[in-house]
Amino acid sequence: MSRPGALITIGALIALLASACGGPPEASPQVNEAWRSCEAEPAVDAASPLPRLDDSFAPVAAIVCFTGPARRADGGESQVATESRADDITSLLAALRLKDERRTNGACTLELPVIPRLVLLDRDGRWITPGIPQDSCGKVRVEVRRAVGDLRLTPVSSRPVRELESAEAARTGCGQHRADMIGATIAMGTRSGSKTGLLPAGAGAVRMCVYRVPADQQGSGKPAGDFLSGRALSGREWAAAKAAIENAPAAKDCTTHAGRFTVLLTGGDDVYVELDGCERLLAGSFLGQSSRALQDLLAKSN
């Protein structure tokens, strides 16, 4: 406290008021100039808590920026960034004005619910990023999640960010990416199992999917391949491949990493065959050595 008769400074007065009220007054959200787009306006760093919505800003609409998978007309899939607008935001504003719940001393679940990037616009097109009320576990309050989920959104724009699955990978049923299980098995040091009952009897249509292993994946603990091609094997081709797999000897000692491999989708255990490098195969838990006949058959088939 100041001495009797002494003048108190503005800073000291603010400090006294803050102390009496339990802390410094909350700041208002930063008001930005006219909104351009989700792509043009960088997202606010969410590492620090953002100021909550107060009466200093009058929102009339919300912009939701969302990135997620979308299936294309050609059957492939892309990661797409979408910007949408909502004009009826009464329930959303009520949820954003809720207080944080008192933190619990009990246990909390491990899931971390999130909401898309959210900005609020006023009548002049200016915008803010509001702070989000938290529940007793420090997660987004359920009222906010519900309010965002209930928004009637009108798409403004969308753009593909990257391809997740090519049309050909989707058409063949192969998938765009697949783990190189031979490389992973070798990296884990797993011992080869028995080849008894390797393949299901009378397997139906068998698909062959070919993948390329990028150089930076080769020799890693969990190598993965990118789709190259795929098709169904004929009954004659599968019969020949099945015989070669079941007659394969144990894999030879070899340290060369494969740059390409194929997966035979049999309806039972998938069979992996390296198309270069050590040319090993993996059927079930059996790690074997593929034959020249099998390599030639698979080479003709892709």
In this predicted model, what pLDDT tens digit does every residue of 249-291 receive, in sequence order?
A: 999 999 899 999 999 998 888 999 999 999 999 998 899 999 9
Instruction: Specify the pLDDT at position 278.
Output: 95
Does residue 23 carry a pLDDT above 50? Answer: no
pTM listed for this prediction: 0.72
Instruction: Specify the pLDDT at position 174.
Output: 95
Instruction: Specify the pLDDT at position 77.
Output: 96
Instruction: Specify the pLDDT at position 203.
Output: 57
Instruction: Specify the pLDDT at position 187.
Output: 87
Does residue 82 carry a pLDDT above 80? Answer: yes
Across all residues in the chain, what is the average pLDDT?
88
The enclosing H or E element of 161 equals strand 154-165
Instruction: Specify the pLDDT at position 212.
Output: 97
**pLDDT band per the 50, 70, 90 thresholds, residue 205:** confident
Structure tokens at 229: 């091609």
Instruction: Specify the pLDDT at position 11.
Output: 41
Question: How many of the other CB atoms lie within 10 Å of CB of 150?
Answer: 12
Residues belonging to the chain: 302
Lowest mean per-residue pLDDT among 2-11, 42-51, 168-177, 200-209: 2-11
Sheet hosting strand 177-179, strand order edge to edge:
177-179, 224-232, 207-212, 260-265, 271-274, 280-283, 286-289
Does residue 30 carry a pLDDT above 90? Answer: yes
Q: At what angle do helices 235-246 and 292-301 cross, to 10 degrees?
A: 150
Asked if 263 and 301 count as a contact pair (C-beta separation under 8 A), the reply is no
DSSP state, residue 142 = H
Structure tokens at 112: 């971390």
Rg of the chain taking only CA atoms, in angstroms: 30
Instruction: Specify the pLDDT at position 108.
Output: 94
Instruction: Specify the pLDDT at position 199.
Output: 77
Burial 189-208 (b: 16+ CB within 10 A, else e): eeeeeebeebbeeebeebbb
Instruction: Specify the pLDDT at position 268.
Output: 80
- The alpha carbon of 208 is separated from its chain's Cα centroid by a whole number of angstroms, namely 27
